[in-house]
Amino acid sequence: MKITQLKKAFPKGEYQPGASSLKISLWYLTSTMFFKSGLVPWSNILVAVLRIYGARIGNDVRIKPYIDVKYPWKLTVGDHSWLGNCLIDNLAEVVIGKNVCISQQAMLLTGNHNFTKSSFDLMTETIVLEDGVWIGAKATVCPGTRAKTHSILTVGSVATRDMDEYMIYQGNPAIKIRKRNIQ
């Protein structure tokens, strides 16, 4: 029986972070000072800093303190969206539509490892949250997931596959529990 051979640096195949080592280092410093520390509570400043690092952010977007964004240059956020103190571990693109709410301590994870290989290779896939989606507090969205328009992932749930439009998902793994009715 073969065993996993974990090394300091996992084989990344064709993966590229999308920025120079200098830019990545500067982002980590900026992220620690402005975002992870909570010392800057003003959303307009946090949005401006993300834009400086290449994030594409629409109008009237609210970014809360303590948010953790891996690579802002791989982030797109539509108008009127709200991002709480969540983790956006975007080794791949994360596309967030308009009027999306990502609640406290939610996680958007675009990377995973290939557990079928002894080298435990890195794998990445894009996450797309279409317009009107709500990701509940402490919920997790896994790599490659598409949350279709106005779907909801409830508190503490884990989305491992695409979510249908106007549907509410709950559990681990999340399953469809009912239709979302907006009045």
Render pLDDT for 29-74 as a digit per residue (tens, 0 to 9).
999 999 999 898 899 999 999 999 999 999 999 999 999 999 999 9
Q: Is residue 183 part of a domain?
A: no
Report the pLDDT value the prediction gives residue 136, as an integer from 0 to 100: 98
Q: Is residue 12 part of a domain?
A: no
Please report whether residue 15 resides in a domain: no
Read off the pLDDT of residues 158-169 as tens digits, 9 standing for 90 and up. Answer: 999 999 999 999
How would residue 10 be classed by pLDDT, with cut points 50, 70 and 90? low
Domain residues for the domain of 67 are 21-175
Q: How many domains does the chain have?
A: 1
Which band of pLDDT confidence, cut at 50, 70 and 90, is reported for residue 154?
Answer: very high
**pLDDT exceeds cutoff 80 at 106:** yes
pLDDT at 117: 82
Residue 30 resides in a domain: yes
Q: In what order do the strands lie in the sheet with 75-77?
A: 56-57, 75-77, 94-96, 127-129, 146-147
- Mean pLDDT over each residue of the chain, to the nearest integer: 94
Task: Give the mean model confidence (pLDDT) for residues 119-147.
Answer: 95
Provide the pLDDT for residue 2.
78
CATH number at residue 70: 2.160.10.10
134 belongs to a structural domain: yes
Residue 9 lies in a domain: no
Q: In which band, very low, low, confident or very high, does the pLDDT at 124 lie, cut at 50, 70 and 90?
A: very high
Query: pTM of the prediction?
Result: 0.93
Residue 182 is assigned to a structural domain of this protein:
no
| Residue 8: pLDDT over 80 | no
Domain contains 8: no
Residues 53, 74: contact at Cβ < 8 Å? no
- Identify the pLDDT of residue 114: 81
Residue 156 has pLDDT above 70, yes or no: yes
Closest listed residue to residue 159, CA positions, set 122, 108, 123, 100: 108
CA distances (Å), 151 to each of 32, 72, 99, 117, 169, in order?
32, 24, 12, 34, 8
Q: Tell whether the model's pLDDT for residue 79 goes beyond 90.
A: yes
Cβ(157)–Cβ(171) under 8 Å?
Answer: yes
Long-range contacts of 74-81 (CB under 8 A, 24+ apart): 74/18, 75/50, 78/131
Cα–Cα distance for residue pair 30/158, rounded to 1 Å? 30
Percent of the chain residues topping a pLDDT of 70? 95
